[in-house]
Chain A
Amino acid sequence: MRLHIKPALFSAAITLALSAILLGVRLTQVGTELKIIGADIDVIWKILAATALIFFYNLFREHIERTLGFLPHVNIPSRLRSIGTRKSIQRLFWCFIIAATLIFPLLGSRSQIDLATLVLIYIMLSLGLNIVVGLAGLLDLGYVGFYAVGAYTYALLSMYFGIGFWTGLVAAGIMAAFFGFILGFPVLRLRGDYLAIVTLGFGEIIRILLNNLTELTGGPRGIGGIPKPTFFNLEFSRRASENAQTFHQFFGIDFSSMHRVIFLYLLALILVLITIFVINRLIRMPIGRAWEAIREDEIASRALGLNPTHIKLNAFTIGATFAGFAGSFFAARQGFISPESFTFIESAIILAIVVLGGMGSQVGVILAAIAMTVLPEMAREFNEYRMLLFGLMMVLMMIWRPQGLLPMKRPHVELQQ
């Protein structure tokens, strides 16, 4: 057995440099003066212990790795995939999932249903971005811009023209698609990371404009009192507004605010199911094949007679449309929107969901959306360390499963031998 003294010393020194200063002392403002105070003695012990641990780990690296073997290799997806290929089982699986999501509101508590609604919004967003990033391979860092366009379209229409949710939903989709088209037109000739920064720029411009155009959008004050969705013109409120009837009056049941929470959830669920259905069809259509062809090899597909600009523009516009739908639904759920909900970090999280799920894979993206929304909620007890753990999880997930939770698999037929 060889001892790796040099690398071990090196790693130990690095560990010390990483932790000793930032953890070992703390800057504190005493009155108007800046002082540093040393950390507690046990923090210092921990730093030293970590350094020693790293040192000895690297010293006996070969030995430890031999005894431990490698980390157990988790391979659930392959099993899932083998199940997934059987059509009957696949259908059963989907039926089960849909049934479970339909029954959920009867079992879940109010905050769970509300959280589930939020998850569904993220699923819708991620499925939309999945078209752009996962299928067409265009890195879009400004996706939240279209989400904002959707949310503000509905909010502004309802504020100025008193338009209801359903019209607003359609208008938001159209408006976001329009923005996607307009912005996509000039930028799609850029490649790779240039496209990324330009989309990022557009996303920021949209947010800053919403913030600056105070006369129109209320600026940072945001827009409040956005009406909630209605069920065939039946409102979900204690008292009906003029010319309207409430849901509980119409059906002659007692008022419960749970009705609305459940209604919002079911509405989001239906929107997500429609999204999944539409995208599933699109993937199997020539346009979906063309997206992937462009992603795999742009030059080859051009040689085969595909028009890359058209195809990319399609992907961009359709992706934006779903963001618009999600945006208007978000506005309805919140009842109040302001530009601070549409920052870059939101784009980054949606992108992370798509990548974490396995680019292009719908089921993977849905799983990832659930994980990325529910985990931070569950980690609320960690309070101060919540975001720290969130970042750590993102890094570890990428290292653990770089291809995503459930990598995409093309629908295909295999010849039985």
Chain B
Amino acid sequence: MNEAFFYFLQQLLNGLTVGSTYALIAIGYTMVYGIIGMINFAHGEVYMIGCYVTFIALTGLAMLGLESVPLLILGAFILSIIVTSAYGYSIERVAYRPLRGSHRLIPLISAIGMSILLQNFVRVAQGARDIAMPSLVTGGVTLGNEASFHASLSYMQIIIFVTTLMAMIALSIFISRSRTGRACRACAEDIKMTGLLGINSNAIIGITFVIGAILAAVAGVLLSLYYGVVNPYIGFMAGLKAFTAAVLGGIGSIPGAVLGGLVLGVTEAMTSGYLSSQYKDVVAFALLIMILLLRPTGILGRPEVEKV
């Protein structure tokens, strides 16, 4: 086991960490797309709101005298899930539902407007400055020889992997086993037909947005703990990256979103590690274009059937 291997391993771990969080946000995009075929550009802002609520919850609970770290994190999860769910649901209700059935570009513009609106709402409410808090979870494990270059894996990274994995499993079970999940899949196949069969498709669409928002909240909590910094502008870039990940994996496919997120994260880390960080985004987008040229519907996307 030499240095080069551990360096590669370290960059792989770094990439997977970033990739997991892309994946969590990407699922929100992909589920909404799968059901109503629209790009929810405001999803990145939901993640940003999740981060802010995490900060407020952690600071607030700490000020109230709560000291146990797991309880603090639990509180942050609960609160940010409640708030982002409300946002996810309201965004759909206010900005997209009235536009159901119009040209597909219309909700896209509405979504971009919503994204600008939310970003500036938070800026007005909470200020534009970077807000920071100290790390709650520190320490980690070392892989390899301490004397030479060694890979390290922090506990926080482990928490991110495990939580992402658990969220994925929970979501898959929900989608494949539960009644609501079945209705979701039915809506994705044919929303009109599902409505005719007595399923309240509006409610299902609302639930889809809420699920996306919950996963964004999970990402928000994890990333707030990991990076410890938030500002009102983080949602935009995160959303863009997650959207890229969703398309890379095949938009509409949940495993695709996860895979896309991980591929994107690892690509970025490898580019930074072996090439130069200023070409990170160029390589990521170039990879996306290459993959789409070879597989026009993404890695795991179903080929679109052209209906006449």
Contact = CB atoms under 8 A, between A and B. Distances in A.
Interface of A: 14, 17-18, 21-23, 25-29, 34-36, 133, 139, 186-187, 189-194, 196-198, 200-202, 204-205, 208-209, 212, 298-300, 344, 348, 351-352, 355-356, 359, 384-385, 387-388, 390-395, 397-399, 402-403
> Interface of chain B, helix or strand or loop or mixed?
helix
B163 to A, nearest CB: 22
Given A344-B240, A398-B109, A35 B63 contact: yes
A192 B247 CA distance: 12
Nearest to B276: A212
A133 B128 CA distance: 34
A80 B170 CA distance: 55
Given A29-B131, A352-B112, A391-B120, A18 B304 contact: no
Contacts of B86: 14, 17-18
Given A36-B56, A399-B99, 14 more contacts: A14-B90, A22-B49, A26-B127, A27-B131, A28-B127, A34-B55, A36-B60, A190-B292, A194-B247, A201-B285, A387-B120, A388-B121, A391-B119, A395-B113
B45 to A, nearest CB: 10
Interface string B77-113: 0010011011101100011001100111111111011
B49, B117, B297: most-surrounded residue (chain A CB, <10 A): B117
A388 B56 CA distance: 22
Chain A interface, DSSP helix/strand/loop, else mixed:
helix
Contacts of B161: none
Contacts of A399: 95, 98-99, 110
Nearest to A204: B285
Given A17-B86, A34-B131, A212-B279, A398 B52 contact: no
B120 to A, nearest CB: 4
B131 A403 contact: no
Contact of A34 (B117, B121, B132): B132
Nearest to B240: A344
Contacts of B49: 22
A112 B117 CA distance: 27
Contacts of B56: 21-22, 25, 27, 36
A187 B247 CA distance: 14
B234 to A, nearest CB: 14
A402 B124 contact: no
9 contacts: A21-B79, A22-B126, A29-B131, A189-B293, A204-B281, A387-B116, A390-B116, A395-B117, A398-B110
**Centre residue among B99, B102, B104, B105 by max chain A CB count within 10 A:** B105
B296 A193 contact: no
Interface residues of B, number: 71
A309 B39 CA distance: 25
A385 B114 CA distance: 14
Nearest to A43: B125
B242 to A, nearest CB: 12
A191 B301 CA distance: 13
Contact of B115 (A36, A191, A384, A391): A391
A198 B292 contact: yes
Contact of B109 (A36, A205, A299, A356): A356
B169 interface: no
B131 A18 contact: no
A201 B244 contact: yes
A375 B110 CA distance: 18
Given A190-B296, A212-B279, A402-B103, A36 B116 contact: no
B108 to A, nearest CB: 8
B47 interface: no
Contacts of B95: 395, 398-399
A395 B42 CA distance: 11
Nearest to A20: B83
Rank and list the top 4 A-B pairs by shortest CB-CB distance, nearest first.
A394-B113, A391-B117, A391-B116, A201-B285
A194 B296 contact: yes
A2 to B, nearest CB: 20
Contact of A212 (B82, B107, B278, B298): B278
A205 B285 CA distance: 7
B8 to A, nearest CB: 25
B22 to A, nearest CB: 14
Nearest to A22: B125
A34 B59 contact: yes
B84 to A, nearest CB: 9
A40 B289 CA distance: 50
B227 to A, nearest CB: 14
B102 A402 contact: yes
Contacts of B113: 352, 390-395, 397-398
Nearest to A190: B296
A18 B87 contact: yes
Contacts of A35: 59, 63
A36 B125 contact: no
A34 B52 CA distance: 13
B226 interface: no
A196 B247 CA distance: 10
Contacts of A392: 113, 117
A201 B241 CA distance: 11
Given A17-B83, A21-B56, A395-B95, A197 B124 contact: no
B177 interface: no
Contacts of A387: 116, 119-120
Contact of B282 (A26, A205, A402): A205
A87 to B, nearest CB: 29
Contacts of B124: 384-385, 388
Interface string B46-58: 0001001101100
Interface in B58-77: 59-60, 63
Contacts of A14: 86, 89-90
Contacts of A212: 278-279, 282
B4 interface: no
Contacts of A198: 288-289, 292
B133 A194 contact: no
Contacts of A384: 124
Interface string B123-163: 01111010111000000000000000000000000000000
